[in-house]
C-alpha cells in the first residue's frame, strides 16, 4: 500500500508507528488529566457528598427492583402451592375411604362442625387422640377444613 507521497513500505510503517505512538501518548495525557481532576475532586467535600448521594440513590433503586422481583416470585410460589393443593385434592379424592372414615364424614356433614371430643363421644373412642388423628387424616386428604378456636380445633366439611 503506497501513500500518495510515494513513500516506501518501510517509511510508511515508521510513519504509522509514529502516529500510533502520538495517539497513545495523547490518550495517556488525557487519562493523566482525568486522574488529576479526580484527585482534585476527591479533596472537594461537595463532590464527595454528590458522589455518596448518587450511590445512595442507585442503591435505593436497586433495592426497590429487588423487592419488586421478590414480591413477584412470592406471588408465583403462592400460585404454584395453590395449584399443587388443588391437584393433590383431585388425586386424593379418588382414594378409597374406609368404613369408619366414611361414617365420620357423614357425621361431620350432619353436625356441620365438630371437635375431636365430640367425635370421641359419638364413636366411643377411649381418648381424643384417635378421633383427632382420624380428623387430621381427613383434613390432609382434603375432605375437611380446620379452624382454630382457642385451644379447640374445629373441623368443617368442604
Confidence check: pLDDT of 151 > 80: yes
Mean pLDDT, to the nearest integer, of 71-79?
95
Asked if pLDDT for residue 3 goes beyond 70, the answer is no
Predicted confidence (pLDDT) at residue 6 exceeds the cutoff of 60? no
pLDDT in tens, 37-70: 667 777 778 888 888 999 999 999 999 999 999 9
CA distances from 64 to 55, 73, 77, 114 (A): 14, 14, 20, 47
Give the global pTM.
Answer: 0.41
Task: Tell me the pLDDT of the chain averaged across its residues.
Answer: 82
Over residues 126-148, the mean pLDDT reads 86
pLDDT tens digits, 91-121: 555 467 788 888 888 999 998 899 988 988 9
pLDDT(148) > 70? yes
pLDDT of residue 92: 56
CATH number for the domain whose boundaries are 96-157: 1.10.10.10
Q: What is the pLDDT of residue 71?
A: 95
Ordered by start, the domain boundaries in the chain are: 9-77, 96-157
Q: Is the pLDDT of residue 125 over 70?
A: yes
Rounded to an integer, what distance in angstroms lies between the CA atom of residue 131 and that of residue 124? Answer: 9
Give the rounded percent of residues in the chain with a pLDDT score beyond 90: 20
Amino acid at each position: 500500500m503506497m501513500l500518495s507521497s510515494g513513500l516506501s513500505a518501510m517509511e510508511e510503517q515508521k510513519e504509522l508507528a509514529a502516529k500510533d505512538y502520538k495517539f497513545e501518548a495523547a490518550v495517556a495525557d488525557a487519562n493523566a488529566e482525568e486522574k488529576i481532576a479526580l484527585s482534585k475532586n476527591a479533596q472537594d467535600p461537595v463532590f464527595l457528598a454528590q458522589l455518596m448521594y448518587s450511590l445512595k440513590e442507585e442503591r435505593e433503586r436497586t433495592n426497590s427492583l429487588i423487592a419488586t422481583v421478590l414480591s413477584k416470585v412470592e406471588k408465583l410460589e403462592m400460585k404454584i402451592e395453590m395449584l399443587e393443593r388443588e391437584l393433590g385434592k383431585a388425586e386424593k379424592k379418588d382414594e378409597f375411604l374406609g368404613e369408619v372414615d366414611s361414617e365420620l364424614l357423614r357425621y361431620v356433614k350432619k353436625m356441620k362442625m365438630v371437635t375431636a371430643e365430640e367425635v370421641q363421644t359419638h364413636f366411643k373412642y377411649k381418648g381424643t387422640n384417635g378421633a383427632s388423628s382420624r380428623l387430621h387424616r381427613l383434613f390432609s386428604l382434603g375432605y375437611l377444613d380446620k379452624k382454630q378456636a382457642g385451644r379447640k380445633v374445629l373441623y368443617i366439611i368442604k
